[in-house]
Structure 1
Amino acid sequence: MNPEALSAALLAVIAPLAEARRAGASEGLTAADLVLERPKNRDHGDWASNAALKLSKQIGANPREFAAEIADALAAVDGVASVEVAGPGFINIRLDAAAAGALAKTIVDAGASFGTSTALDGEVINLEFVSANPTGPIHLGGTRWAALGDSLARILSAQGASVTREYYFNDHGAQIDRFARSLLAAHDGLPTPEDGYGGGYIIDIARRVALAYEGDIDALDDAAKQEAFREIGVGFMFDEIKTSLHEFGVDFDVYFHENDLHESGAVERAVARLRELGHIFEADGATWLRSTTFGDDRDRVVIRSNGTPAYISGDLAYYLDKRERGFNRCIIMLGADHHGYVQRLMAMTAAFGDEPYVNLQILIGQMVNLVKDGQPMRMSKRAGTVVTLEDLVEIVGVDAARYALVRSSADSNLDIDLDVLQKRTNDNPVFYVQYAHARTHNVGRNAAASGVDRSEFAPELLTHETESALLGALQEFPRVIAYAAEVREPHRVARYLEELAGLYHKWYDNCRVIPLGDGPVESVHRTRLWLNDATGQVLRNGLGLLGVSAPERM
C-alpha cells in the first residue's frame, strides 16, 4: 500500500467519524490534510499520523479518544496489520507484509519514472547559476553552484516544472577591462597590472589571441590593441568555461549576455515601467528607485548624474526581461559575498508588482575548502591564485566531485577531504552509494546464472526486519524528492541515498536471493530479486538527479 492509498483510506475512515461528531466537519477535508510520516523509530510502525490531534479541536473531541475511534476503523482496512494510539493522540500504523512488500514490484514496473510527479506542473522556472565572470577558470564556489544548480534543475524537472538553466554572462564592466589589460600586459611581457589577473591561463589566452587576430596585432594603437584582446580574449575564456562545465556534466539552455541589456534598450524599458508604476524619482541630477517603499534600507540610484547606469540598472532590466519571457518563478544562486544584496533584489521584485521570495528566490552558497594530507589547498597549478573546477576534477573525477559538492546544504561552509574522496572504501560516500548500485547488478547477474528470475512475486514473504526497513526507505523516495524540490535542497537526495545504501548492504548480508548450495529456487528468492532490483532502480534514479553515474560494475 503506497502513501496515497493509505491517505485515501485514512480520509475514508476519518470523514464519517468527524461528520458524526459535528455536522459539516468533514467538508473540504482532503487526503492532503492528513499528514502521514515515517516514524523515526520503526518499532512504532510503518506510518504515523497526527490527524486526530489536528482535527480534534475543530470537532470538539478529546484527541486521544478520537484517535482510538480512527484506529479501530482503520484496522479493518485491507493491507493494514495493526493500528495503535500513542501519546496524546498519535496514530501508529503497521501494514501487513504483502501490502508493504508490494512496493518492490511497483518500483520495478515504474522504472525511471519512480519518484517523479506532476506537483509542479505549470511552474515555468528560470534557474540562474554559476554565472562566473569570464575573466578566469571557474573557482570552487562556482563549481559548487554548478553541481547544486544542475541537480536542483533535475529535481524540479522531476516534479513537473519546466526549467530553463541560464548563465548570466558578465561581459560588461570594469572586470572585463582589467582582464583585457592583463592579457595585453602578458603579451607585451610586462608585469600583471596591480588590479589585474595573474596565472598561467592569462599567458595561454594572450598567446592564442595574438595568433587568432587577423593581421599584426602589434600594429594597432593602444586602445584598439586592448579592445582586440578584450573581445577575442573574453570569447576564448568563455569557451573554456563552457567546455569545463560540459565535461562536468553541466550545460545551459541560455547564455544571457549582460552587455545586451545595455545595448538593446532593456535598461531604459525597465526604468520606464517602474516610472509608470510610480516608483522612480529624480534627485541631484540622478534617476532613483524608491526602494525603501518595499523594505530596502535606502533608495537606489539607477542612472547616475553623469548619465551612466548604476549596477542595479542591469538587475532591473534582467529581472523584467525574465518575467517578459514567461517565467513565473526566477531562482538565482549567489555566493556568500552577495548576502547583503538580497534585500534590494526583493525590493526590486515588489516594485515591479511581484511577490518577493515567490516570483524571485535567492539561494546563497557558502565557501568550499579542499583539504589534502590534512592541509588546505589554496593554489591552482593553472590559475595561480584559486583552486578551480579543473583542479578538483583532475584529483577525484567528475562523479566524486559532484557528489561531494551536492551532499551538504548550500548555506553551510564545506570542507572536502580529497584523501577520503580518492578511497574505494565505505568512508567515501559516493563510492558507498555507487557500490550499492553495482552490487544490485551483481546480485542480478548471479541470480540469472543460478536460475532465479522475476517470474513470481509473493510480497507476503518479505518479512525479515531488514526487508521491512529497506521497503520503508524505498517508500520514502518520492517524498524526499518532492521535499528537496520544495525547499530547493538537493543535498537531501544525497543523504537519502546514503541511508538507502546502508539499509541495502544490511539486507544483502541477511537475506539471500540465490539458494544456498544446491538448494532449490523458491518463491522467496524470486520475490527478493524484485526487492533487489527495486533498490537498484531507486539508487539509479537518485544518482541521476544528482548528475552522478550509476555504474553496474565496480
Structure 2
Amino acid sequence: MTPDELSEALSAALAAAVADGTLALDADALPSTVHVERPKQREHGDWATNVALQLAKRAGTTPRALAEDLAGRLGSTPGIKAVDVAGPGFLNITLEAGAAGELARTIVESGAAYGRSDALSGRVIDLEYISANPTGPLHIGHTRWAALGDALVRILRAAGADVTAEYYINDAGAQMDRFGESVLAQIRGTEVPEGGYRGEYVAELGRQVLAARPEIVDLPEDEAVALAREEAYRLQLAEIRDVLSSFGVHIDVWFSERSLHESGAVTQAVERLREQGHVYDDGGAVWLRTTDFTDDKDRVLIRANGEPTYFAADAAYYLSKKDRGFPGKIYLLGADHHGYIHRLKAISAAAGDDPAENIEILIGQLVSVQGAKLSKRAGNIIELRDLVEWIGADAVRYSLSRYPADTPLELAGEEMLKQSNDNPVFYVQYAHSRTCAVDRNAADRAVRREDGFDPSLLDHPTEAVLIGRLTEFPRIVAQAAELREPHRIARYLEGLAADYHKWYAECRVLPYPDEAVEDVHRTRLWLNDAVRQVLANGLDLLGVSAPERM
C-alpha cells in the first residue's frame, strides 16, 4: 500500500462518516487529500496522520472521538494491520508486511518513472541560470549554479512542470568592447587597456583569432577591435558550451542580450511599460517608477544621452520571456545580486504580472574549494574545467547539490576524492554498485525474481525501514520541486543508502552455495532491485551517474 492509496482510504473513511451522519460536515469541507507522514519513532507504526485534529472542532466533536471512529473504519481495510489512536487524536497506522512489501514490485515495474508525478502539471517555467559574461571562462561561482540549476530543471520536470533551461548571454555593452580591445592587445603585443581582461586565456584567444583572421593586423583600429571582439566572443562562448556539456548541463535556449537591442525590443519595452503608466521623464532621462513596487528608488531606463541602461535590457528580457509564453520565470543569481530582487519584481509588477506568482529570484551564496589551484589561464579564479578534471563531474555536482543554495559553502577537495563512507557521493554510488553486484551474483546462482514474489516475507525490521524509505521518494521529489531545493534529494539518497547497507548486512539476499533457492531470496531480490532503481532515479535528478561497478 502506497501513501497515496492510504490517503485515499482515509478520504473514503471520512466520506463514509459524513454520509452516515457521524461527522457533521458537508462533503465539500473535507480535505481533497489527507496528508500522511512517517512517524519519527518506528514503534508508532508505518504512517501517521493528524486529520482528526484538523476537522474535529468544525464538526463539533473531539479529535480523539473522531480518530477512534476513523480507526474503526480503517481496521477492515485490506493491507492495514493495525490502527492506533495516540495522544489527543493522532492516528498511527501499521501496514501488513505484504501490503508494504508490494511496493518493491511497484518500483521495479515502474522503473525510471518511479518518483515522477504531476504535482506541478500545467506549470510552464523559464529557468535562467549561470548566464556568465562571454568574456572569460566559467569559474567556481558559476559551477554552483550550473549544478543546482540543472538539478532543479530535472526535478521540476519530474514533478510534471514544463521547464525551459535558459542562458542569458551578456554580449552587449562596454564590457564586450573592452574584451575585444584586450584580445587585440595580445595580438599586437601592446598594453592591455585599463579595466581590460588579462590572463593566459586572453592570449590564447588572441592566437586563435590571429590564426583564423590574419588580416586583423592590417585593419584600422575600430575594425580590428570589432573583429577581435566578435571572433573571441564566438570562441569563448563555444568553450562555455563545451565545458557545460562536460559537466552534464544542457541548455535549451541561449538568449543573446544584443538581440534585444538589435531587434528594437529594448525601445519597445520602454513604450510598453509607459503604456502601463509606470514610466516618466525627468532630467532628460526616462525612468521606471519602481518605488511603486517596493524598490528603494526609481530606476533609469534611458539615460539623458539616449543610451539605454542595463536595467532597460532587463525589462526587455523579462517581457521577452512573458511574450514567449512563460508565466513562471525563475532567475538563479549570484551572491552579489541581492539588489536585483526588488528591481526585477518591480519590472514584473510594472508589466502587469503578479510578482508573487510570475517571478522567483533565488540567490546563491559563495563557494570555495580547499586545495583547488587558481587557474593558470585566467590567473585569479578557479575554473569549472579545472574542477572537473581534478575532482570529477559527479563529485562536484553531488557535493554542490547537497547543500541549500543560500548557504555559504567550503568544500574539501581531497575529501571529495576519497573512496570511503565519509564521502557522501561515494557512499551513495557505492550503494548503487552493490545492488548491481547482488543482481549479477543472483544471475550466477539462478535466483530469478520472476520465479516468485511473496511480499509477506519482507518482515525483518530492516526491511520495514527500507520499504518505508522507498515509499517516501515520490514525496521527496515533489517537495524538492515545490521548494526549489535539490539538496533534499541528496540527503534522501544518503538515508536510503544507509538503510540499504544495514539491510544488506542483516538479511541475506542470496542463498549460500549449498542452499536451495527459496521465495525469500527471490522476494529480497525484488527489494534489492527496487533500491537500485530509486538510487539511480535520484542520482539522475542530480545529474550524477549511477555506476554499476566501483
Which interval holds the TM-score relative to the shorter structure?
Answer: over 0.9
1:467 equivalent to 2:463? Answer yes
1:418-477: CA deviations, max 9, x gaps?
111111111111111111111001001111111211111100010111101100000001
- Report the Cα offset of residue 85 of structure 1: 1.8
Match of residue 395 from structure 2: 400
Residues 188 and 217, structure 2, Cα contact 8 Å, conserved in 1: no
Q: CA deviation at 1:26?
A: 2.9
1:410 matched residue in structure 2: 405
Task: Determine the C-alpha separation between the residues in 2 that align with 1:57 and 1:178.
Answer: 69
TM-score under structure 1 length normalisation: 0.97
Q: Deviation at 1:381?
A: 2.3
Percent identity, please. Answer: 55
Residue 119 of structure 1 is matched in structure 2 by 119
Q: 1:125 deviation in Å?
A: 1.1
Check whether the contact 1:403–1:546 (CA below 8 A) recurs between aligned residues: yes
The residue aligned with 1:451 is: 446
Which SS does the other structure have where 2:356 is aligned?
A: coil
SS in 1 for 2:250: coil
Q: Deviations over 1:207-239 (max 9, x none)?
A: 1111111x4212112222111111111111111
SS at match of 2:414: helix
Q: Aligned with 1:27: secondary structure?
A: helix
Please state how far the C-alpha of 1:23 moved relative to its aligned partner.
Answer: 4.0
Deviations 1:30-82 (A, max 9, x none): 441x2111112222111110101111121121112222222222122111111
The 8 Å contact of residues 24 and 60 in structure 2, kept in 1 or not, is answered as no
| Equivalent residues, number | 548
Deviation at 1:534, TM superposition (A): 0.4
Please tell me whether residue 174 in structure 1 is matched to residue 174 in structure 2.
yes
Deviations 1:101-150 (A, max 9, x none): 00000000101110111222222111111111011110111111111111
Q: 1:490 aligns with which of 486, 491, 496?
A: 486
Distance 1:369 1:310 in 2: 32
Query: Which residue of structure 1 aligns with residue 305 of structure 2?
Result: 306
Residues 92-491 of structure 1 aligned to structure 2 (within 5 Å):
92-213=92-213, 215-372=214-371, 377=372, 379-454=374-449, 455-491=451-487
1:538 corresponding residue in structure 2:
534
The gaps in structure 1 that reach 5 residues or longer are none
2:58 maps to a residue whose letter is: Q
- Look up the SS of the partner of 1:357 in the other structure: helix
For 2:457 and 2:23, locate their aligned partners in 1 and report how far apart those are by CA, in whole Å.
43
What residue is the counterpart of 1:25 in the other structure? 26
CA distance in 1 between counterparts of 2:215 and 2:259 reads: 29
Give a deviation string over 1:368-399, Cα, whole Å, max 9, x none: 11012xxxx46222211110101111111111
2:439 alignment partner AA: G
Q: Cα RMSD over matched residues?
A: 1.3
Cα distance in 1 for residues equivalent to 2:527 and 2:310:
56
The 8 Å contact of residues 436 and 501 in structure 1, kept in 2 or not, is answered as: yes
The DSSP-based 3-state class of the residue aligned with 1:148 is helix
Alignment of 1:64-75 (within 5 A): 64-75=64-75
**Deviation per residue, 1:314-359 (Å, 9 max, x gap):** 1110111111111111111000100121011111111111111321
| One-letter amino acid of the structure 2 residue matched with residue 450 of structure 1 | R
| Cα distance between partner residues in 1 of 2:194 and 2:287 | 34
Give the SS at the match of 1:358. Answer: helix
Question: Which residue matches 1:8?
Answer: 8
Question: For 1:146, what is the secondary structure of its paired residue?
Answer: helix
Where 2:339 maps in the other structure, the secondary structure is helix
Unaligned residue ranges in structure 2 (runs of 5+)? none
The SS at the match of 1:452 is: coil
Scaled by the length of structure 2, the TM-score of the pair is 0.97
Give the counterpart letter for 1:536 in structure 2: R
In structure 2, the residue matched to 1:41 is 41
Aligned to 2:545: 549
Given that residues 7 and 31 in structure 1 are in contact (C-alpha distance below 8 angstroms), is that contact kept between their aligned partners in structure 2? no
Secondary structure, in 3 states, of the residue corresponding to 2:125? strand
Q: Is the 8 A contact 1:2 1:475 kept in 2?
A: yes
SS at match of 1:405: helix
Q: Secondary structure at the match of 1:438?
A: helix
Aligned to 1:85: 85
Distance in structure 2 (CA, Å) of the matches to 1:164 and 1:517 = 53
Contact 2:198 2:378 (C-alpha < 8 Å) held by counterparts: yes
Q: 1:18 to 1:256 in 2, by over 3 A?
A: same
Pick closer, same or farther for the CA change 1:51–1:80 going to 2, 3 Å. same
| Amino acid aligned to 2:128 | E
The separation in 1 between residues aligned to 2:390 and 2:74, in whole angstroms, is 56
**Which ranges of 4 or more aligned residues in structure 1 deviate by more than 6 Å?**
none
In 2, the alpha carbon distance for the partners of 1:23 and 1:514 equals: 54
Q: Distance in 2 between matches of 1:395 and 1:527?
A: 42
For the residues of structure 2 that align with 1:87 and 1:297, how far apart are their CA atoms? 50
- Is 453-462 or 62-71 further displaced after alignment? 62-71
State the SS of the aligned residue for 1:287: strand
Describe the SS at the equivalent of 2:380.
coil
Alignment partner of 1:216: what SS?
helix
Once the 2 structures are TM-superposed, how far is the Cα of residue 178 of structure 1 from its aligned partner? 2.1
Asked if 1:513 is matched to 2:509, the reply is: yes
Q: What secondary structure is seen at the aligned counterpart in 2 of 1:288?
A: strand
**Amino acid across the alignment from 2:287:** W
CA deviation after TM superposition for structure 1 residue 193, in Å: 3.3
Task: Give the conservation status (yes or no) of the 8 Å contact 1:21–1:59.
Answer: no
Q: Residue 249 of structure 1: SS of its match in structure 2?
A: coil
Does the 8 Å contact 1:21/1:61 carry over to 2? no
Cα 1:244/1:259, change in 2 over 3 Å = same
Conserved in 1, the CA contact under 8 Å of 2:25 and 2:58? no
SS in 1 for 2:11: helix
Q: What is the identity, as a one-letter code, of the residue corresponding to 1:225?
A: A
Give 1:467's aligned amino acid: E
Post-superposition Cα deviations, 1:263-288, rounded to whole Å, max 9, x if no partner, equal 10111221121111111111111111
SS at match of 1:82: strand
Matches of 2:218 and 2:443 in 1, distance apart?
A: 73
CA distance in 1, matches of 2:428, 2:380: 34
Confirm or deny: 8 A CA contact 1:140 1:368 kept in the other structure: yes
Give me the whole-angstrom Cα distance separating, in 1, the residues matched to 2:361 and 2:292.
20
Aligned partner letter, 1:494? A
